[in-house]
Amino acid sequence: MWETSTRLLRLLSLLQTRRDWSGAELAERLEVTARTVRRDIDRLRDLGYPVLATAGTAGYLLGAGADLPPLLLDDDEAVAVAMGLRTAANGSITGIEETSVRALAKLEQVLPSRLRHRINALQSMTVPMANTGPTVDPSTLTALAAACRDSLRLRFDYRTHDGTTGIRTTEPHRLVHTGQRWYLIGWDTDREDWRTYRVDRIAPRTPT
């Protein structure tokens, strides 16, 4: 039973490291037969992990499910996530501080002591610069990021430096974070030119 549980964790870790694996590759990595891999895949599915079969390669990939399953992180990944959460707790996104602290508390509760020491050493020897820039709404950031990803044309109200507001129509390209402010780079269809917009001055309407 212990050997099976350990193998399931190794299998889950492999599935999380890349998009898809063939059954033969997994069997070779785990040093078991293809039949054992199929049984272990079924066990993961019974536990709620959305393991999908891939066409053509007789393989598997870990899909997106309705619920977030437990993730397996190696030491460096765990340290990176913890430091990212600590940075976000003092960041420039409105309302994310409390969420970051809650997530960090959950992570640090299960971290091995050797990793807690690494993270605390990094934290104690790092002096963060005070965030003096404006904060942005996380829903605005996610909406802009989705529009960039899906190549959706955006219409939004934009407040200029002198306080006037106008409607902009833009084909968004990328979000840029300078450490103090968030910017959206996009093609302004009315002005027929590239423009840079401060995200804290954007009030999204709807993609078009």
CATH code for position 15:
1.10.10.10
Q: How many domains does the chain have?
A: 3
Q: 123 or 193, which is more confident? A: 193
Concatenated DSSP letters for 171-196?
EEEEEEE-SS-EEEEEEETTTTEEEE
Asked whether residue 87 carries a pLDDT value surpassing 80, the answer given is no
Question: Is 70 among the domain residues?
Answer: no
Confidence class for position 206, pLDDT limits 50, 70, 90: low
Mean pLDDT, all residues of the chain: 83
Question: Is 116 among the domain residues?
Answer: yes
Residue 18: φ, ψ to 5°: -150, 170
CATH code for position 179:
2.30.30
The pLDDT value recorded for residue 12 is 85
The pTM assigned to this predicted structure is 0.55
Question: Is 40 among the domain residues?
Answer: yes
Same domain for 142 and 202, yes or no, is: yes
**Are 17 and 9 within 8 A, CB to CB?**
no
Question: Is 181 among the domain residues?
Answer: yes
Quote the CA–CA distance of 42 and 40 in Å, as a whole number. 5
Question: Is 142 among the domain residues?
Answer: yes
Same domain for 87 and 146, yes or no, is: no
Q: Which amino acid is at 60?
A: Y
Same domain for 142 and 203, yes or no, is: yes
Q: What is the pLDDT of residues 2-15, one digit of tens each?
A: 566 778 888 888 88
The pLDDT value recorded for residue 184 is 95
Same domain for 10 and 43, yes or no, is: yes
Same domain for 57 and 80, yes or no, is: no
Question: Is 82 among the domain residues?
Answer: yes
Of 32-36, 74-78, 124-128, 161-165, the one with minimum mean pLDDT is 124-128
Q: What is the pLDDT of residues 132-169, one digit of tens each?
A: 678 888 888 888 988 998 899 999 999 998 889 999 99
Question: Is 9 among the domain residues?
Answer: yes
Question: CB neighbours of 185 closer than 8 A, spacing ≥ 6?
Answer: 172, 173, 174, 175, 176, 194, 195, 196, 197
User: What's the mean pLDDT in 43-58?
Assistant: 82
The pLDDT value recorded for residue 57 is 67
Domain with 15 in it:
2-62
Same domain for 52 and 85, yes or no, is: no
